[in-house]
Structure 1
Amino acid sequence: MMFNEIKRVIDQVSRDKGIDSSVLIKTIEEAIASAARKKLGPHAEIEVQYKPVTGEIEVFQFKEVVTKVTDPATQINLAEGRELDPECEPGDSLGIKMDTALFGRIAAQSAKQVIIQKMKDAEKDAVYEGFINRKGEIINGIVQRIDRGDIIVNLGQTDALLPAREQIPREIYRRGDRIRANIMKVLHDARGPQIVLTRTHPSFLINLFKAEVPEINEGIVLIQAAAREPGSRGKIAVSSIEMGIDPVGACVGVKGNRVQNVVQELRGEKIDIIAWDMDQAKFVCNALAPAEIARVIIDEDNKSMEVIVPTESLSIAIGKKGQNVRLASKLTGWRLDVISEEKYSKALKEGYDALMILPSIGMVLAEKLYEHGFVSPEIIRDASTDDLMAVEGMTLEDAEKIIQESAALLDQEIDDTDQEPEENIIQESASLPDQETKE
């Protein structure tokens, strides 16, 4: 029988596959009980006990002691019962030790199949449990094969999938190459654990810096945010909890060796290391470096900033195809509109001129209104007196007067627009020569 060397099998599988021996023992006990029922009948009450010291397996069939047997599979008569236990009485349950050899070759083969399947399931569970808590970590593997652009990576215990969409553009791998990636997902389905990797997620960039910069692992330097356009450019924002530690310098390393190691792993992706700042305007200015920033106008309600830069710095701030401002927006979490000082000054002058049409508004008040978002007579007309009184130096009387003037100005413009077509018709009619009516 296959049960003779069961202890050796349990020890070996537990050691090689990393499966807890108690899981294997329970699996084997259930498998042998299933094989016994195939031989003794589905209603037989079976109990299997494994003795870990000797590796022996004991199988007991429990039967009820009765005076008249109606079901031999579950009952034993009183006379036979007292041969096993002289003190038994009708109604008692007796455990009769079985010879495992009685199960036969077919039953033993069935037990073997159940054991193999259970071991596979236990192995899958062990792999899943080993990886489920490692999501977000970097892992090393070897390229096993490439299937329609997806890379199958051998992790030792199991295989993982690096989909084409999670690969850095233009990077090429061949079978046998070593590869590093982040564990993105760990799924558990009928086929076993499915581990999905990524090399494009910002967390991969973060983990690479953690591996290169000891100050990050020690908690002295903190990574506040990261943004990437994989294979092209990435930005990472860092800060320090100690005044004497330069977080940007720590990440760059001596002669740039630390950041260069990260760049090499990312196939030449350029990395901007940004100093994080609690002042969000300063943080945005840092994120747009090396562009020079002249002024930042913050809209807290819409979480957006208007960034004004010298005309000569506009292309640097925006970057190639808008990449720099796009990554800065992702990094900071603010919507950024970058405009030149020339364009801003022109828009500002037009805004001031539009406000200064109103009799009560001079240059100083126009500037204050503009800074509070009141950039046109239409906006002022639709505002409440409370809204306008938020402007420094504005009184209730001033607010009411400006609103009235705005409404009057806009009403006048509507009247002028309505009259214009009629005047044009009169002028056109006057210019036409008299014509005779033809019948």
Structure 2
Amino acid sequence: MAITAANQLELLQTAEAVAREKMIDPDLVIQAMEESLARAAKSRYGAEMDIRVSIDRKTGKATFTRVRTVVEDEDLENYQAELTVEQAKQYLENPSVGDEIVDEVPPVDLGRIAAQSAKQVILQKVREAERDRQYEEFKDRVGTIINGIVKREEYGNIIVDVGRGEAILRRNEKIGRESYRPNDRIRAYVKDVRRETRGPQIFLSRTAPEFMAELFKMEVPEIYDGIIEIKAVARDPGSRAKIGVISYDNSIDPVGACVGMRGSRVQAVVGELQGEKIDIIPWNEDQATFLVNALQPAEVSKVVIDEEAQKIEVVVPDEQLSLAIGRRGQNVRLASQLTGLDIDILTEAEESARRQAEFAERTKLFVDALDLDEFFAQLLVAEGFTSLEEVAYVEMDELLSIEGVDEDTAGELQARARDVIEEQNRKALEAAKEMGVEQSLFDFEGLTPQMIEALAKDDVKTLEDFATCADWELAGGWTTVDGQRVKDEGLLEKFDVSLEEAQNLIMTARIQLGWVDPSELEGDAEDEGEEETAEEAEA
């Protein structure tokens, strides 16, 4: 198959037709043709030759050229595509390394095999260009809703025609047991677009919380305009959902706007989500208030927040427990997702029993350690004293403020508490020494003997061992495992050592050992201060 004048224009027409069909740039098709013709020409003239083909974009004429590059004598390897400076002098007046000598060669007559090879190259290049075009088009649509038509089902996954490409709705991204047949119309959320070897993969979802948020944006003009903002969404797809909204215009009720006249707006979303029940909740910056709203329709008696553990305890009347938890724990689970906090629900009876148990435990501590009668020990607990250290080292005035306590009684209380603490410290020191704790840890300021004993039980016996600890190992923390928050017990947690205190202790130990330069820490602190000042100035 030779490229004659008769079929030169046919090349351009073919390129235009393919580009139009695949919706890609015609120039990309012509470039693929040039590469395929060059490859075919190499099989005719020799694979080591650098043969290039240029197709005129107006006439369709294909020009075949042989290119040779000027290289240093010692770099000459390919005699067909390279030549030395001396050899190049017969073609150029003053040749230098890097110059190219271009000679036109006769067009090749493509045989059957060469023509087939050229066709494969063109198809491959066109496919690559088509994939690039699809990826560029859909990567900017991540986070939006797309409409498509169901093409087929593969192993429970739905293949969707989205116009200029195919998308996949995986089995676990479908709502409940919904099923689709070919040619059904479908609306879904573009969750991700990835560039893969088999082409761009477009992943859809109908269970993502963002899908519900985007549906509300389409139905509620105030959300689209930014007057109302969706702050949080939690879903049990196909069953129930909670959505937290806030209005930046005092004259507009965010809940009412999302519900619409006679529920028209929310019902449009419910219909798209296969009847999923939606609780629309007013957002509040105060976590406790927002949580009370999120647990509706249950009534809440009291909320206790543990900010360090990101955990909340909610106390509800006994008869409201099942309503607060919901069927199979659905209500409290969705409220937890919405607030981002772990929620423990207690009845008023359970909370009262726990408080009584804590009261009895602290009372027994004071009775046994300070040799007090039960009434006086209960009086201390009722006044908020929880440990021997508080009694021993509190200001005298705080003890004198307790009814019936004079200076002699307060002094005796503190003396007894200090004696007990000193005895406990003595025993802890002896135990730590028996376990082999080095003097460097005893000399370290900030650790009590009882703390050192607790560390030694976990094989932390030197200052070096202590300096390698992580802050959460000392103060404790929380880890998320399989979506559940799990408590990590800290070595010094029972001594009320906070995360910040643990960080300071560890850093002090590292400085003493020479592992950290204090001047570097000061420089980092100054940099952070400057950044904060700059942020405040911008604000």
Scaled by the length of structure 1, the TM-score of the pair is 0.76
Question: Which of residues 66, 69, 86 in structure 2 aligns to 1:61?
Answer: 66
Determine if contact 2:318/2:349 at 8 Å carries over to the other structure: yes
Determine if contact 1:145/1:175 at 8 Å carries over to the other structure: yes
Residues 96-130 of structure 1, C-alpha deviations (whole Å, 9 max, x = no match): 43453534454333222211111012111221222
SS at match of 1:173: coil
Question: Which of residues 361, 373, 382 in structure 2 aligns to 1:366?
Answer: 382
Residues 347-402 of structure 1, C-alpha deviations (whole Å, 9 max, x = no match): 33343344445444455852645xxxx4xxxxx35xx4499969x95799799579
Q: 1:63 to 1:349 in 2, by over 3 A?
A: closer
Question: Which of residues 321, 325, 344 in structure 1 aligns to 2:332?
Answer: 325
**Aligned-partner Cα distance in 1 for 2:57–2:184:** 44
Q: 1:257 to 1:88 in 2, by over 3 A?
A: same
Question: Which of residues 148, 170, 173 in structure 2 aligns to 1:163?
Answer: 170
Residue 279 (structure 1) shift: 0.5
- 1:14 aligns to 2:19 (yes or no): yes
Determine if contact 2:148/2:185 at 8 Å carries over to the other structure: yes
Unaligned runs of 5+ in 2: 71-77, 367-371, 401-409, 425-539
Of stretches 39-48 and 17-26 in structure 1, the one that deviates more from structure 2 is 17-26
Q: What's the counterpart of residue 296 of structure 2?
A: 289
SS at match of 1:100: coil
Residue 300 (structure 1) shift: 1.2
Aligned partner of 1:265: which letter?
Answer: E
Q: What's the counterpart of residue 50 of structure 1?
A: 55
Determine if contact 1:307/1:336 at 8 Å carries over to the other structure: yes
Residue 94 (structure 1) shift: 5.4
Residue 6 (structure 1) shift: 2.2
- 1:272 aligns to 2:279 (yes or no): yes
Residue 73 (structure 1) shift: 6.3
Aligned partner of 1:308: which letter?
Answer: V
**Aligned-partner Cα distance in 1 for 2:201–2:21:** 21
**Aligned-partner Cα distance in 2 for 1:339–1:241:** 35
SS at match of 2:109: helix
Residue 299 (structure 1) shift: 0.9
**Aligned-partner Cα distance in 2 for 1:215–1:399:** 65
Q: What's the counterpart of residue 217 of structure 2?
A: 210
Residue 138 (structure 1) shift: 1.7
Residue 137 (structure 1) shift: 2.1
SS at match of 1:35: helix
- 1:314 aligns to 2:330 (yes or no): no
**Aligned-partner Cα distance in 1 for 2:289–2:25:** 55
Residues 306-358 of structure 1, C-alpha deviations (whole Å, 9 max, x = no match): 11112222222111121101110111011111112232223333433444454
SS at match of 1:306: strand
Residues 73-109 of structure 1, C-alpha deviations (whole Å, 9 max, x = no match): 6699xxxx9xxx9x96697965443453534454333
Determine if contact 2:391/2:414 at 8 Å carries over to the other structure: no
Determine if contact 2:8/2:59 at 8 Å carries over to the other structure: no
Q: What's the counterpart of residue 304 of structure 1?
A: 311
Unaligned runs of 5+ in 1: 66-70, 375-379, 411-439
Q: 1:120 to 1:394 in 2, by over 3 A?
A: farther
- 1:151 aligns to 2:158 (yes or no): yes
SS at match of 2:9: coil
Q: 1:158 to 1:206 in 2, by over 3 A?
A: same
Q: 1:356 to 1:75 in 2, by over 3 A?
A: closer
1:398-437 correspondence to structure 2 within 5 Å = 400=414
Question: Which of residues 219, 223, 231 in structure 2 aligns to 1:224?
Answer: 231
Q: 1:144 to 1:59 in 2, by over 3 A?
A: same
**Aligned-partner Cα distance in 1 for 2:319–2:112:** 88
Q: 1:89 to 1:340 in 2, by over 3 A?
A: closer
**Aligned-partner Cα distance in 1 for 2:115–2:413:** 96
Aligned partner of 1:6: which letter?
Answer: L
Question: Which of residues 38, 54, 66 in structure 2 aligns to 1:33?
Answer: 38
Report the RMSD for the aligned CA atoms in angstroms.
3.6
Number of residue pairs aligned between Structure 1 and Structure 2: 384
- 1:253 aligns to 2:249 (yes or no): no
Determine if contact 1:182/1:197 at 8 Å carries over to the other structure: yes
- 1:181 aligns to 2:179 (yes or no): no
Q: 1:174 to 1:74 in 2, by over 3 A?
A: closer
Residue 286 (structure 1) shift: 0.9
Residue 53 (structure 1) shift: 3.0
**Aligned-partner Cα distance in 2 for 1:151–1:234:** 24
**Aligned-partner Cα distance in 2 for 1:253–1:405:** 70
Question: Which of residues 344, 349, 354 in structure 2 aligns to 1:347?
Answer: 354
Question: Which of residues 131, 142, 154 in structure 1 aligns to 2:149?
Answer: 142
**Aligned-partner Cα distance in 2 for 1:31–1:320:** 65
Determine if contact 2:305/2:313 at 8 Å carries over to the other structure: yes
Q: 1:243 to 1:74 in 2, by over 3 A?
A: closer
Q: What's the counterpart of residue 503 of structure 2?
A: none
**Aligned-partner Cα distance in 1 for 2:124–2:269:** 44
Q: What's the counterpart of residue 475 of structure 2?
A: none
**Aligned-partner Cα distance in 1 for 2:313–2:412:** 29
Aligned partner of 1:17: which letter?
Answer: K
Determine if contact 2:306/2:312 at 8 Å carries over to the other structure: yes
Determine if contact 1:40/1:73 at 8 Å carries over to the other structure: no
Determine if contact 1:355/1:366 at 8 Å carries over to the other structure: no
SS at match of 1:4: helix
Aligned partner of 1:327: which letter?
Answer: L
Percent identical: 43
Residue 26 (structure 1) shift: 2.6
SS at match of 2:204: strand
Aligned partner of 1:366: which letter?
Answer: A
**Higher CA-based Rg:** 1
**Aligned-partner Cα distance in 2 for 1:203–1:406:** 59
**Aligned-partner Cα distance in 1 for 2:13–2:128:** 20
